[in-house]
Amino acid sequence: MEMLFLVNDIEKKRMNHVEYRIQKSVCIYLKLKHPHVLFMSDTVANLKLTKTQAGRNKAIQKDGFKTPDLIIFKPKGKYHGLFIELKAKTPFKKNGELLKDEHLEGQQKTIDDLNKLGYYATFATGVKEAIECIKKYMDGR
């Protein structure tokens, strides 16, 4: 019985992670509305890796590349696929500039690089904005 409470506590802590909940909701939407579309959700950011695991993960990643949270493997129009970096709050100032933050700047560089390669890559804040982005992409808008 004690183990059951421990598992429930762990799940509650994970569910409190806002970006994880956004990611999970968007993935559920994709599974329901686009069941034949291949996609990948990067969950490494939501995991607590050991020091060894984190070192191994870093060793096999390209320096400076920040894997977006959601990758949709569906060419549409002139794009090879859709990459979305999900956020709980906007990464932009009111004037549209990116907030001054090393991590956000790295993510923006990755988005820019992916766009140059013919993918559609963007930030999306919250479930509603992410789903709207997916709808527009799938409709070819």
Structural domains in the chain plus CATH codes: 2-139 (3.40.1350.10)
**Contact in structure between 123 and 21 (CB atoms under 8 Å):** no
The terminus-to-terminus CA distance of the chain in angstroms comes to 52
**Contact in structure between 73 and 29 (CB atoms under 8 Å):** no
State the pLDDT confidence band at 116, using cuts at 50, 70 and 90: very high
Phi and psi at residue 118, in whole multiples of 5°? 100, 15
Which residue, chain included where needed, has tokens 């894997």?
A: 67
pLDDT tens track for 46-103: 667 788 877 786 776 667 677 899 999 999 999 999 999 999 999 999 999 999 999 8
Q: How far apart are CA 51 and CA 11, in angstroms?
A: 22
**Contact in structure between 78 and 18 (CB atoms under 8 Å):** no
Q: What is the residue-averaged pLDDT of the chain? A: 86
pLDDT, mean of residues 127-131: 97
pLDDT, mean of residues 29-39: 97
